[in-house]
Chains A and B, each alone.
Chain A
Amino acid sequence: MADALLNPLSLTLSVQTSEAFAAPAMSLADRASRALESGVWGAVMYIVIGLVAVLTAVSVLGLVMSYIERKVAGHFQCRLGPMRVGPHGVLQSLADGIKLLFKEGIEPGDGDKVIFIGAPIFSITATILLLAIVPLAPGIQVVDMNVGVVYIAAVSGLGVMGILMGGWSSNNKWSLLGAMRAGAQMISYEVSLTIALLVVVLFSGTLKVSEIIESQQQGWWIWRGHGVAIVAFCLYVIASTAELNRTPFDLPEGESELTGGYHTEYSGLRFSFFFLAEFANLFVFSALAVTFFFGGWLPFHVGNYEGFNAVMDLLPPVISPMFWFGSKCALLIFVLMWFRWTFPRLRMDQLMRLEWKVLLPIGFVNLIVAATIVLTGLYFFPSAT
């Protein structure tokens, strides 16, 4: 029992030390699963510490991402972005966070108070749960369950509940319209998202996230997948943009149409919860794309070019996974921001048509082709298994 209590503590502490990396990569995850199985208290401790770590990560992510977003937007739009608070405005999001903390949390008089207060918490909880399964580096992952992909599909569906609750309880017609749009949109695009991920599940033959990364040692699925994976990746990017409610799919907010959509009535800290969840989700969905299609923390290798591969492996093993994972994520996030600051918004009927008449049929055909490839064993590169 005492062992179990100590284990999770050592887990989170050792994240910072190089000791964890010196040991075989999976030992951390092994210890985590041992803690989960050792007893009720061990599991509870582990979950609490894990969630606190993830919550911290969400807040930091929210701050960093909102700064990056504004900088990227600024430079796309022939301006500088935040420049006043700190050098190049790096403290701008912190200042905004403090401002949001001190703002009055207004509740609509005729709204449903309990649901109104609960909605942003629900929204951010879904994000925290989703972030828990993201493998940042070998073993640095709060949960690595054997049905990871199912978990992702299940938990990412929770986010829409927060938005629906917020829109409903605000007792505002604009909010309600935004929430209904969000409900229709996010539930529809989740189908495409899951189907795109299933292609990789077929290729790698596992639902466990860490094993999906391991299966890409011989080459990332985006290359090895016969073009099927490229189609799946495109589907994933489109569907995840819709899941994130970002332009061109930002109908639930639809500022110029719905005056703010589902969070019209929210202010202060409650609004910042929605805001944080949105930005953390941006990271999570990019991280999942990296995990499934771009080999997670694995460095960039090209077939048998030993020299090139050796150069890619130059980084010390402590930094290497973080560097590769971080840079791949950053690239994807940049692409998503590029979308946001270039495209206009779709209309609701066009959005639905795109999902049910275009993306979903392509997704299903793609899945069948992937299954055929896996059955006949026609890989470009030798399979890992």
Chain B
Amino acid sequence: MTVEVSSLKELVEQASGDDRSPDTQEYFVNMGPQHPSTHGVLRLVLKLDGERVLRCIPVLGYIHRSIEKISEHMNYMNCVHLTDRMDYLSSIMNNWAVSKAVEEAAGIEVNSRIQTIRTIFAELERIQSHQLWWGVLGMDLGAFTPFLYGIRDREVLNDVMEETVGARLTMNYVLPGGLMADIHPNFVHRVKEFIKYFRPKLDEYDDLLTNNVIIQERLRNVGILSAQTAVQYGATGPVLRGSGVAFDLRKDHPYGVYDQADFEVPVGTIGDSWDRYWVRVEEMRQSLNIVEQLLDNIPPGDFLVKKLNSKIKIPEGRYYSQLETARGVLGVFIASDKKDEPYRLHYRSPNFNNLWCLEPMIKGDYIASLIGAMSSLDLVIPDIDR
């Protein structure tokens, strides 16, 4: 296998043809970093022939905050707080990924109450992440109303979580060895209320977008990502499952208390934008099921195994741990040199791999399809750059 490396400048110069040629001329256009549909500061350099996308080159680094490097000078308790700012829609799952890695490496056992609460919160957060994605997909395809519907329901869920966590976006709830705080006395009751509220809303979502003929036309057979390509590019999460690969860490390598819950992993067929859309909408239903099953059986216990001081020391070695966020597999790699700070902390973020699937998906298709396909990838740019 050979890998060709070429700079952006070379690519652009290569393509600019003769201005006076009577043939149609291919041209480059910058989509982003300031573009309504790149959701943040992703920059795509597009090589276009009319409206057809011939190449799509992601350019990264506009929101790089060097979270990994900063972590090298922080103890493990502090590293967790930075992860909120990576994939801000899966902040609790990010916290949990680091906590899980540290707990496994340092040999800290957490009780089942903590694991159950973590699982419930992770699933709630998966729902709210997908709610926002659903709204944004509608907006990217030109319908503004779904966005506000998605936000409306997300607010309801955020209120429920805020009561326990105290924050709405950067939740910062999970710590190595436990949780920041115990759940609010109202929590179980209010989550039940939310489930009752949200189930009919999911049918409303179907009425507004899923069954809309224009949405079907825009998403079906567009941006096809074959299972093979998806695996080759390291895509995970709904993107991989949309391509028909039933890989879900919650099922295949259960963590938390997922082994106690009965749920299905929705899988697509051909891997077009529609499959990815359907997988996510279905995942919201499954997440509701998981939460419903776990909610009544939160075991008693402490929310923190023991009062940990900030000096957790991990034995020398390399450790890897991963879990399934709303966008795919978030891996945490820790190289430790016996100190209380990591020698190297690396995150394998799901969005980074998912982003590169964009070009094989969209080559030769229209700009409008590119927008739809990109939306179906559900990218969070701060997670790509970190």
Contact = CB atoms under 8 A, between A and B. Distances in A.
**Number of contact residues on A: which range applies?**
20 to 34
Nearest to B208: A342
Contact of A79 (B36, B148, B212, B367): B148
Interface string B135-154: 00011111111001100100
Interface in A72-86: 73, 76-79
A177 interface: yes
A256 B27 contact: no
Interface string A176-191: 0100000000000000
A347 B29 contact: no
A256 B142 contact: yes
Interface in A57-96: 73, 76-79
Given A248-B214, A345-B214, A350-B217, A256 B366 contact: no
A347 B51 CA distance: 11
B365 to A, nearest CB: 10
Contact of A342 (B140, B145, B371): B145
A174 to B, nearest CB: 7
Contacts of B214: 248, 343-346
Q: Which residue, B37, B51, B139, B368, has most C-beta atoms of chain A within 10 A? A: B368
A347 to B, nearest CB: 4
Contacts of B152: 78
Contacts of B144: 73, 77, 341
A348 B368 contact: yes
A341 B145 contact: yes
B148 A254 contact: no
20 contacts: A77-B145, A78-B148, A173-B29, A177-B367, A251-B368, A255-B142, A256-B140, A257-B368, A259-B36, A341-B144, A343-B143, A343-B212, A343-B214, A344-B142, A344-B212, A345-B142, A345-B218, A346-B218, A347-B218, A347-B369
A291 interface: no
A247 interface: yes
Nearest to A181: B51
Interface of B: 27, 29, 35-37, 51, 138-145, 148-149, 152, 208-209, 212, 214-215, 217-218, 366-369, 371
A76 B152 CA distance: 13
Interface in A30-76: 73, 76
A19 interface: no
A344 B138 contact: yes
Interface in A332-385: 341-350
B37 A257 contact: yes
Contacts of B212: 343-344
B368 A254 contact: yes
Contact of A247 (B140, B143, B149): B143
A246 to B, nearest CB: 11
Contacts of A173: 27, 29
A130 to B, nearest CB: 26
Given A255-B142, A258-B367, 16 more contacts: A77-B149, A78-B152, A173-B27, A174-B29, A255-B36, A256-B37, A256-B139, A256-B141, A259-B35, A343-B214, A344-B141, A344-B142, A344-B214, A345-B141, A347-B369, A348-B366
A250 interface: yes
Contacts of B208: 342
Contacts, number: 78
A348 B51 CA distance: 9
Nearest to A247: B142
Contact of A76 (B35, B138, B139, B145): B145
Interface in A246-277: 247-248, 250-251, 254-259
A247 B208 CA distance: 15
A341 B29 CA distance: 30
A347 B217 CA distance: 9
Please provide the 8 A-B residue pairs with the shortest distance between their CB atoms, ordered closest to farther: A345-B142, A344-B143, A344-B141, A77-B148, A347-B368, A256-B37, A344-B142, A173-B29
A254 B208 CA distance: 20
A54 to B, nearest CB: 31
Contact of A254 (B27, B142, B209): B142
Contacts of A255: 36, 142
A254 to B, nearest CB: 7
Interface of A: 73, 76-79, 173-174, 177, 247-248, 250-251, 254-259, 341-350
Nearest to B35: A259
Contacts of A347: 217-218, 366, 368-369
Given A248-B214, A347-B369, A342 B51 contact: no
Contacts of A342: 143, 145, 208
B335 to A, nearest CB: 42
Nearest to A249: B142
A248 B368 contact: no
B221 to A, nearest CB: 12
Contacts of B371: 256-257
A117 B95 CA distance: 54
A255 B144 CA distance: 11
Q: Which residue, A247, A255, A256, A346, has most C-beta atoms of chain B within 10 A? A: A256
Contacts of A259: 35-36
Q: Which residue, A77, A177, A257, has most C-beta atoms of chain B within 10 A? A: A257
Contacts of B140: 256
A344 B37 CA distance: 15
A251 B141 CA distance: 11
A247 B215 CA distance: 13
B142 A250 contact: yes
A341 B138 CA distance: 11
Contacts of A344: 138, 141-143, 209, 212, 214-215, 218
Nearest to B142: A345
B71 to A, nearest CB: 35
A27 to B, nearest CB: 48
B149 A256 contact: no
A98 B142 CA distance: 28
Q: Which residue, A255, A345, A348, A349, has most C-beta atoms of chain B within 10 A? A: A345
B35 A78 contact: no
B358 to A, nearest CB: 15
A349 B366 contact: yes
A349 to B, nearest CB: 7
B6 to A, nearest CB: 23
Q: Which residue, B139, B142, B143, B371, has most C-beta atoms of chain A within 10 A? A: B142
Contacts of B138: 344
A256 B36 contact: yes
A257 B367 contact: yes
Nearest to B215: A344
B255 to A, nearest CB: 37
B155 to A, nearest CB: 10
A4 B10 CA distance: 72
B302 to A, nearest CB: 41
